[in-house]
Amino acid sequence: MASEKLKDLLNKSIARELQVVVQYMWQHVLWSGVKGYAVKDQIKSIAVTEMKHAEAIAERLNYLGGIPTTKPEPIFVGESLKEMLAQDQKDERVAIKLYNEVIAVAKAENDEATYKLFQGILSDEEDHDDFFTTALEEV
């Protein structure tokens, strides 16, 4: 069915999604001040979206015969709003690169469902990158 390479990429994707779910939710909780208040609800919304991504990827991996990881990539909350946003922007860009790779491998393996799933997720990640980039301009 799916190659080990594709299954490994899906597990890397899950680990990344789990990382940012916790990271963004804790940032939402810990942010303070006027600038933090202005973005914290959007960060919570992004965290929920990332949780849905993790679930969808895990379901796909399970269908393909893989075992979804429960271990996130390293979580970085940060100490200042600027530090948090810079890390979040970096993490979204890592995801964009990874998800483009997943899309290419899925396409090469004629896995239309994984291909379509990641096209949608990639679009969300690009929106998240845009949000963090814009927010960084304001701090």
- 1 has binding-site annotation: no
Binding residue per annotation — 128?
yes
Binding site annotation covers 92? yes
Residue pair 18/71 in contact by the 8 Å Cβ criterion: yes
- Whether 84 has a binding-site annotation, put simply, is no
C-alpha–C-alpha distance, residues 9 and 98, integer Å:
8
Residues 6+ apart with CB under 8 A from 60: 10, 113, 114, 117
Q: Identify which of 89, 107, 99, 105 has the alpha carbon closest to the alpha carbon of residue 123.
A: 99
User: Cα-flanking dihedrals φ and ψ of residue 103, to 5°?
Assistant: -60, -45
55 marked ligand binding residue: no
Q: Which residues make up each annotated binding site for heme b?
A: 51
Binding site members for Fe cation: 17, 50, 53, 92, 125, 128
Q: Which residue ranges make up the annotated binding site?
A: 17, 50-51, 53, 92, 125, 128
